Amino acid sequence: MNFDEMSSEQRSRALIDALPYIKEFHSSVVVVKYGGNSHSIGPALDSFADDIVFLRSVGINVVVVHGGGPQVDEAMKLHGIEPVRIDGLRVTDEETLKIARMVLVGQVGREIVSAINRHGGFAVGTTGEDGCLIKAHIKDERLGFVGEVDEIDSSILESLHAQELVPVVAPIGISDEGQSLNINADEAARAIAVGLKAKKLIFMSNIPGLLQDVNDQTSVISEISTVQAKRLVSTKAVSEGMIPKILSCVGAVEDGVEKAHIIDGRVRHSLLVELFSDAGLGTMFMGSDPTKRTTKVSHSVGLDPQ
């Protein structure tokens, strides 16, 4: 049932139940990584934009970091370039970097900014190059112009927040030599969350969360400690595509972010449900051995305690 289908009593109850969370997160920073897959465009983008405008309206300082891998792949193919990856990372030569910048900054970022502003917010598109927001170095010579984050200068984001604006960040960094570098969006979101001392880092994905059984979409691990998460990665008990998100969540929590989450971006208003209810969605990463949120629907995870 969505909000429009609720009775007046149900609506008022939902708003009252959300009040303690609104108070808790007021003036805090929440970093949201929004994907570039098919689930994040069209009606899903409109729903996401509504959520971001709501968060900003109740005093939460939001930063949106976006991906755009599928769109970059499509643009490369239109230019006659076949995408090549090593260990899941795009090999980025000079031409590929130009295409990535064009798509991430000029297409994906603009679509997100326009959606947020269309729904009543005040979003501003930026990149990791602007104000040297994301300083990075070349990660691996085999990958070309792919960067690994060294430092976050969060002053530009703090300035935008002071003006009650929502920064929408494209993951293009810059080296000490002034070279633009393609940054993994999950890693960029993690680094920005740490740099801003964010209260939460939320990854919106196209799966329900971290799964105990990759073939069972209902086997969501509702809460997990960083130790348990690293154990899953080391034993290869999770799909390869989830590893960057898991490691980004683990790294963020270990470096001071209070909690990190992987949630289902296909569910309408999943961001609001995660932040403003006991039920939550997806998987929450914590620094200590977690206590399950008993109201969340999930299966037994079968993990050893920390």
**Hey, where are the domains in the chain?**
26-286
Which residue in this structure is represented by tokens 């969540």? 249
Rg over CA atoms, the chain: 19
**Longest pairwise C-alpha distance within the chain:** 60
- Kindly report, residue by residue over 107-116, the tens digit of the pLDDT: 999 999 999 9
For the cut 80, the answer to whether the pLDDT of residue 11 exceeds it is no
Q: Which residue has the tokens 């085999």?
A: 142
| Cα 279 to Cα 94: distance, rounded to the nearest angstrom | 46
Q: Please give the model's pTM, rounded to 2 decimal places.
A: 0.88
26-286 to CATH, choices 3.40.50.720, 3.90.1150.10, 3.30.750.24, 3.40.1160.10: 3.40.1160.10
Which two tokens mark 277? 């209810």
If you average pLDDT over each of 191-200, 201-210, 227-236, which comes out highest? 191-200
